[in-house]
Every structure is written in structure tokens, then in C-alpha cells.
Structure 1
Amino acid sequence: MPTPTREEVQAVLQRLDALEAELRALRRQVEAWGETTEAEEPPPATPEAAVPETAPTAPQQPFAFDPQAWLARLGVLLIFLGVGFFFVYAVQQGWLMPVVRILLGLAAGFILLALGWIRAPRHPSTAAVLAGGGLALWYLSWFAAHALYDLVPFAVAFGAATLTTALAYGLAWLRFHPAIAALGVIGGLLTPVVLSSQGGSFLALNAYVLLVLAGGAGVYVRSGSLTVLLAMWSAGWGLYAWQVDTVGAFPAAVITQRLIVQVALTAFVLQLWWLPLWRLARTPARWLAQLAAIVGATFAPILWSVHTFILWDMPDRPAGSVLLGVALTCALLAWGLRNDANRPYAATAHGATALLTSIPAWPLLLNGASYLETVLTIAYTLQAAALHIVAWRRRSTTAALGAHLMTLITGIIVWVRFFETTLPPFGAEVWASLLFIAMLIAAAQWRGRTEMRRAYEIAAHIFALGWLAREAALLEWGMGGVSFLWALVGVIEYVTALARGHRWLYRYGFALLILVGLKLLILDTQTVALLWRAVLFMVLGGVYVALGVLGQRWLVRETPEPDLQKS
């Protein structure tokens, strides 16, 4: 330990003097406060003057049951059903002409909007339900006027539905609950789908869609309503899926429509990719909004990639290149945002995106290659190792979950390869498997003294035994060679544990030796020649006796580890 310098000692002494002075000042203040309290202590209150204690009010639950709001919802539902049944009956009887039906729908919507406007100051939830029902009736009326009855031209119906969308945003902004804007988002994005006509302009359509989404984004940024955000996501992705399917009918030579949809799709993703994270950076929210921000920012690039593949009918390798580019971009963003406290969960969301897009990227990029499984093993092993390092250095639970996922996927690939008998011995896949086993051993060391460390140690032993079995089976040694190699590993682990006092390694070696003995008795008696069987049994029997004697002496001499005495 280095000797402190004179300046360091003086600094410590000065700090002690300052602390003593502060302590004396605090003592004087406490004594003065005690004297004042004793001098001014009021007489005890009489029983008649005592004020009864009131029970503390229960905290308001975030999802409290509102009977009025639920009654209003039920009432609006009953109105819709009643109007629908009456319309069906009136149409069957020939009472109502199409024009009368549309006018009745508009009038009923106006009445619901007026009732909602009146009740908005005192009962906002009920008012929002009433106003939402009125707006829904207006949307349905305009859609039916053009699509069902052809009473008005496309421009009139489209303009009226657009004004209804603008009215929904205005009501959410000025007077009603922000969730009413969700109806404007859904109705506004359904308008071009329901009222679609052949020969429409894709440029005008996507400009309109982005304008509708921008209005919903403004309401969400102002209020933080999760309902509005979910409406933007569901209706937005549904509309772009419809556009991608529609554009797919155009010839491949016509790329103008594809470019327009691609640009609009990218703008949509950029708008909603950062929007929830930016909103959380300004105003903290509940866990549900935080979860929505993570899920939204994670899956936006993934859905963008899927739509892009379908839009351009991409082959596997270009699609893999796009996914790999998305994965690298999100990985860089996650690394850059790792210390940004103003954007909570931003690094987590982008790290999850990088992980999820990189998993299918390599198989698509290397589809058809003879070395696909080998490259996948190496790439996934390196990703798992990188995530283990991040989890170890930054104590990140999210990175640890990603590391476990990548380890599981890589382990499945490696284990399946163990059963392929057509591979040459000691080929390229051998070194990929050894790299994965080395990663398991290193991950066990990074885990420290935890249960997960034991799991990784056991996994490393199992995969090492599988690797030895596969390589020995490919040689001329057969099952006898597998038993010999397994027994050799067990002896090395057993002796090493006795020499170094490692109880867990002793257990691994002991279990492996028992496994080899059972394998000899059950399997090798039928596959190994008689002479070699006798030699193998005698040699291993002598080794087992010697190890048993050494193990007994070691167990008497050593004491159990503190953390194993309870088990």
C-alpha cells in the first residue's frame, strides 16, 4: 500500500477539523431548540377540544373504475346496434331512401357531438365517448354516401371525411379527452382505403397520409395519450401494408409508385421511431408508456424492412444486406445513447432492434452457401460474446437477456451439427464449435458466483462432450473411442479438482466418469470387440479404483465451501 504524502495528510486533518466545527454548531442548535420547546410547550388539550382523526384518503388508482364512462360506452354501443337494426328493417320495408339514411346518420352524429360538447367540462370521459360516437357516425355516413349509394362524388366524400378528421384533432386539442384523436387517426387513414378510386395519385395519397399522421403526432406530443400512439401505429402500418400490396400489382418497370411509397414509408418510420422516446425524454410516464416506447422503437425498423422487401420483391441476399445494415445502424445508435439519461430506454430499444434484425440477416445473406452453418455459428458466437461483455461491464439486464438468447440460438445450431454424419473430421465447423465452447467457458467466468455461471459451466461441459463424441465417431475409433475420450476428460477434471480443491470441478469429473461407466455397460458391450472390451474395462476399472481412493482422502482432508454447506 503506498504511503500518503504530507499534503494528503494535511488535507485529511483539515477536513476533520471542519467536521468537528459543524458538529459543535449542530449541538448548540439542538440545545437551544430543546430549551425553546420546553418554555413554549402548550397545555394538553381537553377531551372536548380534541379533534377526531380522519382516515387518510386512499390514493387514486391509475386504472380506477369510472361507472359513468362505462355507462356511456355501453349506451353508444346500444345506439349503434339500435340504429343498425332499424336501418336493416327500414331497408327491408322500403321506408327509407338512401338519401334519408345518410341524413339520419349525419343528424345522429351531430346530436351525439352536441351532447358531448355540453358534458365535456364536468364529465370528460363520458363526453369523449359521446363525441367519438358522433364522429364515427359521420365517417360511416360519408363512406356510405359514396361507396355504397354513389350519392356524392369522390371529392365531396373525401373532403367531408378529411374535415371530420380535422374536427377530431381540434376537439382533442381544445376541449375533449386526447383519446378522441385516435378516432381521427383511424378514420383519416381509412378514408383513402374505403373511398379509393382507380387512377389515384400515389404522391397525393402519401402526402395526405403523412399529414394525418402528423396531426395525430401533434396531439400525442402535447398529451402523451397512449391510445393515440397505438392508433397511429396500428392504422399506419395497416395502411402501408395495403399500399405495398397495391403497388405490387404494377409492372416491375414502373418504379415511380414504388419510390413514392418507399419514401413515405421511411418518413413514417422516422416520425414514429423517435416520437415515443422523445416524448419520454420531456415528460416521465408510467411503465405502460415506457413499454410502448421500447416496443415501438424496436419494431419500427423491422417492419420497415419487411415492407421494403415486399415492395421491391427482394431476393434473399439483398434482403440480408438491408437487415445487416439496419442492425449495424441500430447497434451504433445504441452504443451512442448508452449514457444518455434524457432519453430513457433509447439504448435498450435500439440494441434490441440490432439483435432481432441480425439474427435473420446472416441466413438471408448467405443463403445457398455450403458454409452457411459454420458462418452462422461464428457470427452468432461473436454476437453473444459481445453481449456478454456489455452485460458484464455495464451490469445491464437487457444485454444479459440478449446474450442468453444468442447463446441459446447458437447452441441449437451447434448441437444439430453434432448429429450430421456426412461432415469430414476436423473440418471448418470443428473450429466454429470450439469457438462457441470457449465462449461458454468465458461467459461462465464473467458471471461470477451466480447460478447462471453454473448453468454455463454445465453447458460448456455438455457441448465439449458432444464435440468429442462427434469427432471420435467420424474416425475409426467408433464408440469405444468416444468412451476413451470421455473417460480421459473425466480423469483430467477429477485429478485437477483434487489438486486444486475445486468442488464443482470434482462433481463434473465424477459425474462424467459415472456416465462413461454406464455407457460401457449399456452400449459398448455390443459395439466394441471382445479383446478391446476386456482391456478397456480393466484399464478403466483400475483408474476408477485409484481415483476413488484419492477422492476419499481429499474429501476427508478438505472442508466444504461456505456456499455449498446449505445445499
Structure 2
Amino acid sequence: MNDFLRRSWISVLGALFILSAFAYLFKYTLNQGWLTDSIKIGLGLSVGAGCVIGGLKLLGRHKLAGEIAAGLGSAILYTTFSYSGIYFALWDSMTVFLCMLALTVGMSVLSYRLRLRLVMNMALLGGLLSPMILRPETDQVFTLFLYLLVLNCAYFTVSIRLAWTELKLFGFIGTWLLYAIYFIQMDPLLDRVWSLPFRYALAAYVFYMLAFFVSSWKNNLKFDGLNLYLGFVNAVLFGLWAVILLDGHASFAYPLLLMGIVYVALAFAVGKMTVSMSGPVWSKLCGGILLILIASTQFGHGLAVKPLLNVYFWLAVSVILLIVGARKRWEPLRGAGMAVWIIVGIYWFYTTWDTPWGIWFGVYIPFLNWAALAWELLAAVGFYISLTGKFGQLRDRDNRSLACVFSVLSHLVVGGLLTVQAENMIDYYKLGGIMDLDLTLSVAWGIYALLLFFWGAYSRQTMYRAFGSFVLVGVAVKTLLFDLYGSETIYKVIVLFLLGIITFGIAYINGKWAAKHPVMETATPEPEPDADREADESQSPAK
């Protein structure tokens, strides 16, 4: 492609100047009223056809001049079709389609058989440039995009068959540029989701997505290079237009979700065809998953339960990453799943206080509601990670430390569950008159410390005893220094009594722990230096 452009760009530029002059002559004669539309169309058809026929006859003697003449004639014919069916509705859309189809198929067949690369490029650029210069004042949009469809289908086919890469590049750039000109100049009505501008943009996106896929497939299954880059640009352009076209009518999450699903499907198709997890496969897979995730975060926007929906969704993402990473032995996926879990936990701690409780059965039941389920699932995934989250490239000690970190974080989630559910219970049942919230939390955390000691004794892990001790000390400080401040009530007596019972229970479990795992302190006898020295001297050779 680079060599062709280096040799031919001046000829193409000169032809484009002549074509621009011809197109502006159409507009100028229209403003002056010199010629009727029928005469102008007849002249355009005559001049264009004459240039094509004359150029084809010159090919045997002067190939370059013949290609320039034939290409310029094709561009003039495209300009005439644009004037007749797009600038003015002088021809109906079917007439334009049939004329376009005949010219495009004819030039494609000739160029393919005779390898007339310059003709194809000049004709394509002329066909794309004509609507830009004429700038229709009437809304003949369907005819315009039918015109572009014929151009792209023919020139993409030749580009794929002969590896003339510039044809698909020019077609892609010209089509999206024409779409932007159409949208800015015509200012179309965007009164609903499924508007005509959105349908045209979606059609262009789908066409180029399939065209680049087929192009890579025909190119010996090479899914990288220009096709990959243009496919990415195609997705970005459609995404930006979707934001503009759907503003005020629907969330742009819907086209993003569609694009994500399509690219995940393409990733699996490419992986199956190439039988490898190459860069293009990973780019499509990761890009598709990212689009799906971004789209999913937008659903439910503005609802009070949006944080709860986010937690459920991202927890599902974390679980999927962990399971797929474990089965496929892709440790980066497992690491990503762990990172997602941590981020979800931080997010839920931040948003849980203003999130609806999600009452089941029409009445609030502690630990049996949607908000509590989010805590419980979060803790369950965290404990699963602490038990199975081992990486092959890490040492055993580092894996144990990682498991301890996730175990502690999971226990913090359990603590958050107890706190929020106790607070919600007192609020829902209006128990503030008989139950102090701070003291109730102290009892809940004290029970939690007891469970930590019990689990530590059962699993024989010192870490849980340390963490339980930390919780117990915190409960003691909180209760004795802060919760008892104020007037005396019978509830404070009950709480202190319960905390005492809990503490004795912890002491009992701790005593059992110490009895089963005594600390062996044995003195290590120190060697006698004189005896050792004498033994060494007796065994050493004489000097």
C-alpha cells in the first residue's frame, strides 16, 4: 500500500481537483439557472462514460493515462448519481441503487481482472467526495446510506481479494466522515431510542465489524495489524455516537453491552479458528469483558438499590474470575478476582449505610434480607479466597500470609454484618427505648470475639486467637470508657453481665487451647569450651 501511494498520490490528487471542479460546476449552474437538471445529468453521464471508455482504450498504449481517465470518469459518474438521487430527489432510491450497482460491479470486475488499482482508488475517492462537496439540502438520507453500502461492499471485496489495503481504509474513513457531515448539516430528529440516525450508525458499526473480521479471516487468519486497529476505532466511533444519539432517551449502557457481547463472541470465534490465545484474542476478550462491566455498572442508575445491585454484580464477576482462573490455571485471572473482591468490599462498607435494607416477606428479619445477603456473600467469597488463594510462584510462607490477610478481611466483613443488622433491628422495631445501640453492638462484637476464639481452637490457628483478642480488648475499651457514660439503666447491667459471661467463655476456650498446645521451654545446654577445645586439639594433626 505504501509503495502504491508513493507512486500515485499526485495523480489521485489531481483527479480529485478536477472532480471537485466538476461537482462545484453542478452547484454553480444550479444557482445561475444556466442549465436544466436533465441537461446537467445528461452531460454528467456522457462525460463520465466517455472518460471511462476512452481510458480503457488507452490502457494498452499509456496505462497510467488510461487508468487516470477511467478512474476520473467513474468518479464523475458517481458525482452524477449523487446529484440526481442525494442532492436532489430527481431519481428515486431504487434508480440510484441500480445505477450504482451496475457501475460499481462493472468497475470492480474490470479492475480485478486487469489489476487497475489506480482506477479503483480514484473511483472510490470520487464516490466518497461527491456527497461531501454537494452537501445535499434535502433529507435523502436513505439514498445516501444505500449509496455508501454499495460502495463499501464492492470495494471491501476487491480489497480483501487483492490485498489492496487502502480501499478499505478510505472506505471506512469516508463513510464515518460522511455520517458526521450528515448529522451536523441535517440536524436529524432524535425523538426516540430507535431513531434513524441511530439505526444508520448501528448499521455502519455492524458492517465494518463483520468486514474487518472477514478480511482477517481471508488473510490467512491474521487477526492483528490494520484490521485490529480499525476495528477498535470502529467501536470507539460507534460508542461516541451512541452517547450522543441516545442522550435523554436511554442509557448508553445498552449499546456498550451489545458491543461487549459481540467482542466476547468474536474472541471465542478467533480463538477457535487460530487454536491459540493470541494477542487479538486477548484484546477482543478483555475489551468485550470491559465493555460488559462498564455497561453493567450503568443499569439501575438513579435507583436507591443501585449500590446493592453493584455489589451482587461485581461479586459475581469476582467469583467467575476466581473459578475460571482456577480451572484454566491462569493466575492473573485469580489475582484479578481477588482485587475485585477487595474493591467491592471497600465500596460496600462505604455505601451500605444509605442503601435500602431489602426486606423479605414484608417484615424485617435480621440476617434474612437483601442487604444482609450482600454481607454474607462477600464474607463467603473472602473465606473461599483465604482457603484456596494460593499462587504457584509464591513461597509457602507468602501464601500463608496472603490467606491470613483475606481471612482477617473476611472477618471484618462479618463484623460489619453484625453491626449493620443490629442497628437496623433496633431502628425497625423501635427498640431504642429499651436497648442502647452502642451496648448492643458491644454484645454483638463480644459474641464475635468468642466465635473467633472458638474457630481458632477448632482450626488450630493462632491468628484467630490474636484477632479475637484484639476484638475483645476493643469491646472492653469501648464499653468501659464510652458506653457506660450517662444514667444507669437495667440494660447496662444486663450487658455487663453478658460481656462477663462471654469473657469467661473466651477464657475457658483459651485455657483449653493452651492445654492442647503447651509452650515447650527447654534449656539448651551450653557446650563446655575447655573440653571441646581439648578434643579438637587431640584430633588435629601435629604441626
Give the alignment's TM-score, normalised by structure 2.
0.55
Q: Which amino acid aligns with 1:432?
A: A
Q: Which amino acid aligns with 2:382?
A: L
Q: Which amino acid aligns with 1:271?
A: L
Of 200-209 and 257-266, the range deviating more from structure 2: 257-266
Q: CA deviation digits over 1:7-38, x for unaligned, max 9? A: xxxxxxxxxxxxxxxxxxxxxxxxxxxxxxxx
Q: List aligned pairs for 1:87-486, cutoff 5 A.
A: 128-129=5-6, 131-132=8-9, 135=12, 139=16, 159=75, 192-193=131-132, 195-199=134-138, 201-210=140-149, 213-214=152-153, 215=155, 218-219=158-159, 223=163, 237=176, 239-243=178-182, 249-250=188-189, 252=191, 257-258=196-197, 261-262=200-201, 264-272=203-211, 274-275=213-214, 278=217, 282-284=220-222, 289=225, 293=228, 304=238, 307=241, 310-311=244-245, 315-316=249-250, 339-342=272-275, 345=278, 348=282, 351-352=285-286, 354-362=288-296, 365-367=299-301, 369-396=303-330, 400=334, 403=337, 407=341, 410-411=344-345, 413-420=347-354, 423=357, 426=367, 427-449=369-391, 456-474=406-424, 475=426, 476=435, 478-486=437-445
Q: Which amino acid aligns with 2:420?
A: R
- Distance change >3 Å, CA 442–CA 232, structure 1 → 2: farther
1:514 to 470, 474, 493: 470
Q: Which amino acid aligns with 1:159?
A: A
Aligned position for 2:54: none
Kept in 1: contact 2:452–2:465 (CA 8 A): yes
Matched, 1:489 2:467: no
Of 521-530 and 430-439, the range deviating more from structure 2: 521-530
* Other structure's SS at 1:419 match: helix
Return the alpha-carbon distance in structure 2 between the equivalents of residues 548 and 193 of structure 1.
88
- Distance change >3 Å, CA 325–CA 174, structure 1 → 2: closer
Larger radius of gyration: 2
- Distance change >3 Å, CA 323–CA 549, structure 1 → 2: same
Deviation, 1:538, is 6.3
Aligned residue-pair number: 419
Deviation, 1:392, is 1.9
- Distance change >3 Å, CA 523–CA 462, structure 1 → 2: same
Deviation, 1:240, is 4.0
Return the alpha-carbon distance in structure 2 between the equivalents of residues 299 and 436 of structure 1.
38
Kept in 1: contact 2:23–2:134 (CA 8 A): yes
Q: Highest relative contact order (Cα 8 Å, sep 6+), 1 or 2?
A: 2
Aligned position for 1:114: none
Deviation, 1:491, is 4.2
Ranges in structure 1 where 5+ consecutive residues have no aligned partner:
1-123, 559-567
Q: Which amino acid aligns with 2:293?
A: I
Return the alpha-carbon distance in structure 2 between the equivalents of residues 185 and 402 of structure 1.
47
Return the alpha-carbon distance in structure 2 between the equivalents of residues 304 and 478 of structure 1.
53
Kept in 2: contact 1:444–1:457 (CA 8 A): yes
Return the alpha-carbon distance in structure 2 between the equivalents of residues 266 and 274 of structure 1.
12
Return the alpha-carbon distance in structure 2 between the equivalents of residues 185 and 493 of structure 1.
74
Identity within the alignment, %: 14
Ranges in structure 2 where 5+ consecutive residues have no aligned partner:
31-39, 45-71, 80-103, 358-363, 427-434, 487-491, 522-543
Return the alpha-carbon distance in structure 1 between the equivalents of residues 272 and 28 of structure 2.
59
Q: CA deviation digits over 1:244-290, x for unaligned, max 9? A: 5566523749989548625642543443462465367x2557xx739
- Distance change >3 Å, CA 383–CA 253, structure 1 → 2: closer
Kept in 2: contact 1:189–1:235 (CA 8 A): yes
Kept in 1: contact 2:125–2:170 (CA 8 A): yes
Give the alignment's TM-score, normalised by structure 1.
0.54
Deviation, 1:410, is 4.0
